[in-house]
Amino acid sequence: MDEQSEPGRTARRLSGRKLLVIGAGTRPDADPEAPIGNGRAISVLAAREGADVACADVVPEAAEATAGLVTAEGSAGAALVADATDAEQTAALVAGTVRELGGLDALVVNVGIGLGRGLADTSPEDWDRVLSLNLRAPFLAARYGLPAMADGGAIVFIGSLAGLRAATGSPAYDSSKAGLFGLTRHVAKEGAPRAIRANLVVPGLIDTPMGRQASAGRASRTASFERIPLARQGTAWEVAQAVTFLLSDHASYITGQQLVVDGGLSAV
């Protein structure tokens, strides 16, 4: 796949699925050529694969824009607004998905921020804020989503290569993304009696608005581009392809696992 290409024709692997994507918007960017973000690419590709999608974001305009793209693909799209770190709002988000789509059998959690540089320059408040969004929010999504989900459903969390190694210089970000590995395994174990699978997609250096902003503020990230065996960054569409695979019946015997999407970076 060309690094800038958008997937076209699909196999309709998610036909009939009712999917909630938490973090479905794309971060605003002044560059008119800015690429699509992971959450929006996941939502659009899932719709192209036949799923109805509830697009949730803390920013109303971002949720509405993604829902409009889902509808344009011929699927039902709903825009929902919630703070994913708030328990009551997350519970309402799940209930709203069931109400708007007529059920829930797939869930993607795509949230994350990074604050602080090193232990000395990471305040306790920074630590709490990062852990709240990066780890508490996925926990809440699973806590309220799992009981509402139909048997045979699937959950995908979006992690980071920072969960495998100290990659960013932010102890809060690296620790929170490492914690997702444990949460994924636990959710997979609890979901297994109802054939609900849970997996973790682990992106490496992906060309998204958030990725470009991170590169602008961290020279070490840009320097890492040269060490990628495939000699380029990934795209949000390539992350979305991994996610839709794990949501589909093509991954029916995969649960509690990690799928690394990094162009080989973690292998060298």
Active site residues: 173
Between CA 92 and CA 104, with CA 98 as vertex, the angle to 5 degrees is 115
Closest by CA position to 214, among listed 135, 160, 157, 268: 160
Q: Give the C-alpha separation, 173 to 160, whole Å.
A: 9
- Residue 22 pairs in a beta bridge with 56, 109
Q: Give the C-alpha separation, 9 to 14, whole Å.
A: 13
